[in-house]
Amino acid sequence: MTAGSGNDLASRLGFNARAGLWVASLTGDRRPEGHSSATDGTQSGQTLSLRILGDPGPAPVAAAGGSSCQLVFQGILTNRDELRARLDRSAHGPESDADLVLRTYERLGASMLLVLRGVYAVIVLDHSTHTLLASRDQFGTHPLFYADGRDGFHLSSTIDALLELPDVSSALNRSMMVDHLRHRSPDKGETYFEAVRRVPPAHKLEVRAGRAMVARYWDLVPPDGRFEWIHEATTERFAEIMQVAVTRCLSIGAAGIYLSGGIDSVSVAAIAVDVSRRLGLDVPVALSLGFSAPGADERDIQRSVASQLGMPQLLIDLDDASGPHGLLATGLELSGSFATPLLNYWLPGYCRLSSEARERGVRVIMSGAGGDEWLSVGPSYAADLLTRFDVAGLRRLWRMWGSAYPLSTTEMLRSLWKYGVWPIAADKSARLLRRAAPRALVERRRRLDVRHFPDWLAPDPALRAEAIDRRARMRDIVNERADLPYYLEEGRFGVEHAIVSMETEEDFELARRVGFLKVHPYWDPDVVDFLSRTPPDVLMRTGGKGLARAMLSERFPDLGFESQRKVVSTDVFRVTALEQGARAWNAMDGTQILAELDIVDGPRVQAEVARIIARRSVEQSFRLWDLLSLEAWARGHTGVAIRA
């Protein structure tokens, strides 16, 4: 099979790779026949045209026009009633989401981005200000990409749609491919294609007078800098806010929930069942992947939760869901067919699970994603406690680490150093050197990077020099912490980080192909606002995730949520990658395309992989996966076949 062709893969996993491809273009061309468009009379011939390439998919694309604005909207609003109340339009007849968003923009301007809720991308051409405004929902559940081509400025929710345009280059971004193998992401707007960029979550894109500018429109810290803790945060208040977020998700249609046995997804399931019954809706379907590996097997608790909540359940063992070729081989096929190398190595299982859910009529699938980020206290809180010499707080954090995560004392000490001591020392030394000897600071960073740069990576001297320079720039960004506490800076960094964007974009791509919407109540802006301002001591209660843990302990007194530790499946995949990776490496005959692109040195990377396989190095098996996934992706975009 040729990677990226998708025919065999689509038939096995049940998706349509071409569903929902669309492009909105700001151009000087005449309007294409049969396409929606809006002409900006202030600039001769400039149009915003919407081109539909294939099936619009589960999230419809719509256009709306007003006296001075034209708008393109894809997705679904989940707070229509709230917006209508804000606009005092309750007496009017039914209107589309696009019409409602346009009216909101006419009332609030760009500030409308702060009040919209849902899964969407929105593009507004404002004739009165000669400005194109484009954005996605606050935390990027719906993607939005753009490219400045020869024939116009183009935007789409999919990279593939942009690459089909004749004026957009499909050249691969070699620098980012090198960074992929170093687990670096210095530019949050960058993609794996030189001509295509993303609008990051919580950011807006404005095009005015031919210039495109990207700026943050939402932040954990208000514009006036006044961040205040919610000292009255309680389990009851948390449940109320989560009910609103879950109700918004249920408004989309028949629902399913990715149900593991962990606190995050179980809390979403419990609230969704209560809300569904109160509103007279069908109870959501529990969608579960079963792991047979010891230490990751949650099938008993998955079944118990679904049974006690009265949820119909679809539980598929991961080995069965992966198909006859195995998890790794199927994942590599997916990597070759996606616009980015595969990040979620369990995605083949979710393809099968989601496809069967769609056959049962499920239109929207909720997950517990975001719970780790917002229900809990990030490790960087250790730096804030050390800065304040808060010994009692450090004790509470230490106890939470021990009770919430399967960590040894040595691992917790390493975390305390990595997230507590080291950031403080690095910040202070960097600020001192930046004032006293800025050039020496840069040179020191470069020397360290050269020393740790793998000899098998980036044999092209120019590409290697660029990778080192990009690393130096990333460190400058990381060290520009403003004056935020480490805890808040970690939260902001998590919202905007390129890896987080790529994970949500990967989720959206799977959902688009299968034909459903994926939503995350814990990434609802109102939930994030509440949890980010909940005092850390409240979140750390009863072993971490205190607000949800208390709710579940009362709801399921016999399932042990009061003492549950997080199940980490990473080690399961490490073993799988090592066992199946050697076979995949031999079948693919190594990383031929990466070598041709000078991403890797062929003989040296062959020796590195041989060493990992010979030593049965489980700790380094992710390097094998990274190389295989990136090679499969590169082949998918150069037309080279992957042999099973």
DSSP label of 282: P
Letter string b/e over residues 403-424, b meaning 16 or more CB atoms within 10 A of that residue's CB: ebbebeeeebeebbeebbeebe
Look over the chain and give the mean of its residue pLDDT values, rounded to a whole number: 86
DSSP label of 601: -
**How many CB atoms lie under 10 A from the CB of residue 535?**
12
Least confident of 99-108, 470-479, 498-507, 528-537: 470-479
Which residue do the tokens 């119909």 mark? 312
Q: Are strands 285-290 and 255-258 parallel, antiparallel or unpaired?
A: parallel
| Res. 35 pLDDT band, cuts 50 70 90 | very low
Tens-digit pLDDT profile for residues 156-210: 999 999 999 999 999 999 999 999 999 888 789 999 999 999 999 999 999 887 7
| Res. 641 pLDDT band, cuts 50 70 90 | low
Q: Are 267 and 548 in contact (CB under 8 A)?
A: yes
pLDDT of residue 49: 53
Going along the chain from its start, the domains and CATH numbers come out as 17-216 (3.60.20.10)
Least confident of 5-14, 199-208, 533-542, 613-622: 5-14
Tens-digit pLDDT profile for residues 482-513: 567 888 888 888 888 888 899 999 999 999 98
pLDDT of residue 91: 47
Across residues 396-404, what is the average pLDDT? 92
Least confident of 35-49, 487-501, 623-637: 35-49
Across residues 617-622, what is the average pLDDT? 82
CA distances from 523 to 138, 235, 320, 367, 553 (A): 9, 18, 31, 10, 23
pLDDT of residue 29: 40
Q: Which of 440, 441, 438, 470 is nearest to 453 (CA)?
A: 470
Tens-digit pLDDT profile for residues 358-374: 999 999 999 999 999 99
Q: Which of 23, 1, 21, 22 is nearest to 12 (CA)?
A: 1
Q: Which of 97, 201, 205, 218 is nearest to 154 (CA)?
A: 205
Whether the predicted pLDDT of 412 surpasses 90 = yes
Across residues 459-466, what is the average pLDDT? 94
Across residues 364-386, what is the average pLDDT? 94
Across residues 63-86, what is the average pLDDT? 88
Tens-digit pLDDT profile for residues 146-158: 999 888 889 999 9
Question: Distance (Å, rounded) from C-alpha 381 to C-alpha 309?
Answer: 35
Question: Distance (Å, rounded) from C-alpha 413 to C-alpha 552?
Answer: 30
pLDDT of residue 141: 92
Cα 243–Cα 249–Cα 253 angle in degrees, nearest 5: 130
Q: Are 118 and 128 in contact (CB under 8 A)?
A: no
Token digits of residue 69: 């604005």
Whether the predicted pLDDT of 36 surpasses 70 = no
**For a pLDDT cut of 90, what percent of the chain falls above it?**
60
DSSP letters, 431-483, are: HHHHHH-HHHHHHHHHHHHHHHS-TTB--SHHHHHHHHHHHHHHHHHHH--TT
**How many CB atoms lie under 10 A from the CB of residue 280?**
6
| Res. 643 pLDDT band, cuts 50 70 90 | low
| Res. 472 pLDDT band, cuts 50 70 90 | confident
| Res. 305 pLDDT band, cuts 50 70 90 | very high
Q: Is the model's pTM score more than 0.75?
A: yes
Q: Are 244 and 233 in contact (CB under 8 A)?
A: no
Q: Are 144 and 121 in contact (CB under 8 A)?
A: yes
Q: Are 137 and 216 in contact (CB under 8 A)?
A: no
